Structure 1
C-alpha cells in the first residue's frame, strides 16, 4: 500500500484545513467530535490513538467523547451532538436515518464471560441465569438479545437481563449478583480477568443461526490462544466495527480522517491487540453495506483507483 510521509500528508491536506478555517481569526485546526465508548475498551483506546495521529499532523483536532457504546454513539450522531462515531455494524443497520462510513476499523469479538468455577459451559446453560448484556446504550444490548434468541432463549423470561458498565458487570459476577456478562470489543480486554477468575464461552456454533435469523453481518472468529495469557483459543462471533458519520460532514474533514486511517494505520491498533487486529485498505473499505462518505470514497480511489 502506498504511504505518504509526514511532509506529503501535510501538503495533501493543509489546503482542506485552511479552507475550513476561512474567515476565522485563529490558526487552530478544525475539530471533529468523535463518539467513542467506555473507558478501558477498544473504542476508547482507538479514539485516543486516532486523536494522537491527528495531532501529529497538525491538520485536525479530534475530541473524544466518552459514551456507553454503539447505540448511544448513533443517537448522539443523529442528534448532531458529535461529528462521527464508532459503532458495531449491526447497530448501524438498525439505526434510523442514512449514515455513511469512513471505514471499517477493526473486528469486535463477542465475549461471553462466566465465573471460572461456575457451571455454565454453553450459551444454552444461561437459561434461568442473570446476565449483563452490555451497558445501557452499548451495541451489546442489541447483539446480545439477538444472540440469546439464536440460542432459542427468550430474553427477559428465560434469562434475567441487566445492563451494566463492564467494570460493574465484572464486580457483579465476583459478588454473586450476576452469572454472566456479554462484552463486544477487542481482545484482550484488560478488565476481563481470563482465565483466573473468568472463563470465556465458545459461541462458534451460533454463527450460522445468527446469520440465518439476522443477516450476514456476523462472522465466525477465534480469540487466539494466549490472547488472554494462559487461556485456550475460543471460537466466537465477530462483528465489524465501523467509523461512521452523516453526509453533512464536510468532504474536507472526511478526506482528512480517511487519510489518517490509511497513512497512520500502523499506529491505530492498540499495542495489546497486536496480532488480532489490523488496518489496511482491504479491510477499511469493507463497510458491510454502509455506503462510504463521498469524501472517503475519493481518498480510497486516489490510492487504489
Structure 2
C-alpha cells in the first residue's frame, strides 16, 4: 500500500488548462479517493469546473478514502476532503461542511453459487471489509456488528482495495467482499459471477445502535444488467473544508456545486443524489462553513 504521504505526490492534474484560472485564485488541495472510484471522479470533475469558472483552483489528491482524507485534513496536508458522513462524525478532525454530495451505496457480494444469503451467514467466513483508510471500512464493520457478528471473533477479516478484493473472491481466497461506491460500480461481474446480498433490513438496527441516520436505499434492478433490485445501506458523502480555508475559496466551490451540479455527476452512476440542490445543506451533525451558508442563503433566501 502506498503510504499516506506518498498519496500527496500523486495529485491529479485537471484536464482543463489552468491558464483560465485567475492569478489571485486560491489553490485548494482536495483529498479524494482512489483512481477510478466515485470520489476521485467527482473531484476531477469539480476541478475541471473550477478551471472553467476561473474562481478557484482545485488540485485533487489521490488517497485511500475518507479516513485518510480526514487524517490529512487534520494535519493540514490538504485543504478540503471528501468523506462519508459517519466517518466524519467519528473523526477527531475539526472540519466544516461545504455540502452534502452523493449517496454511497454499500455492497456485499458473494460468488453466484455461494450458500451465503444473509449477513448472518458470514459467521466463520473469510470476508474482505474494504481498504484500510477508506470510509467504507467503518461502515462495513458496522453492518457486520448490526447483524450480531463480531468482526474480530466471528470473521476472518482482510482489507484490500476493490480490484484486489474482487480478484481474491474470484480466486476463492475470500468468501465475501464489501465495499461502498456509486451504482453501478465498474469491475465486479454482477450477476454472472457475483451475487449481491440484501442489507436493507439492518438499517434500523444500525440507526439505533450507532445513533446515525443511515438510509435504506435500493440498487435498482438491471443497474448491473440482469441483476434484481437489492436494498442496502446508504451513507451520504460530504465535501469538507478546514475551518481556516479562505472564505473566497469556499464560496467559489459552493457556487460550483449549485451552478454546475449536472456536470459533476459521472454518467455511469445512478446513485448520485446531490443534483437536488436542497440536499446540499443536509450535513447532519457537521456544521456548514459560514461562507457556504452565505451562498445558500443568497440562492434560497
- Same fold, TM-score > 0.5, yes or no: yes
Partners of 1:43 and 1:131 in 2: CA distance: 24
Q: Cα RMSD over matched residues?
A: 1.4
Match of 2:222 among 221, 226, 229: 226
Which ranges in structure 2 are unaligned for 5 or more consecutive residues? 1-20
Q: Is the 8 A contact 1:217 1:240 kept in 2?
A: no
Partners of 1:278 and 1:91 in 2: CA distance: 19
Q: Which residue of 2 aligns with 1:36?
A: 32
The verdict on how the C-alpha distance between 1:129 and 1:275 changes in structure 2, with shifts beyond 3 A counting, is closer
Partners of 2:96 and 2:296 in 1: CA distance: 15
* 2:200 is the alignment partner of 1:204: yes
The verdict on how the C-alpha distance between 1:106 and 1:276 changes in structure 2, with shifts beyond 3 A counting, is closer
Q: Which residue of 2 aligns with 1:47?
A: 43
The verdict on how the C-alpha distance between 1:203 and 1:177 changes in structure 2, with shifts beyond 3 A counting, is same
Q: Which has the larger radius of gyration?
A: 1
* 2:175 is the alignment partner of 1:183: no
Partners of 1:294 and 1:34 in 2: CA distance: 19
* 2:143 is the alignment partner of 1:142: no
- What is the TM-score when the length of structure 1 is the normalising length? 0.89
2:153 partner SS: coil
Cα offset for 1:276? 5.3
Partners of 2:175 and 2:270 in 1: CA distance: 30
Corresponding residue pairs, total: 281
Q: Which residue of 1 aligns with 2:254?
A: 258
Partners of 2:39 and 2:296 in 1: CA distance: 23
Partners of 1:29 and 1:183 in 2: CA distance: 36
Cα offset for 1:97? 3.5
Question: Which string of whole-angstrom CA distances, capped at 9 and with x for unpartnered residues, describes residues 4-39 of structure 1?
Answer: xxxxxxxxxxxxx97xxxxxxxx2632111111112
Which ranges in structure 1 are unaligned for 5 or more consecutive residues? 1-16, 19-26
Match of 2:284 among 276, 280, 288: 288
Cα offset for 1:191? 1.2
Question: Which string of whole-angstrom CA distances, capped at 9 and with x for unpartnered residues, describes residues 27-61 of structure 1?
Answer: 26321111111122110111111111111112222
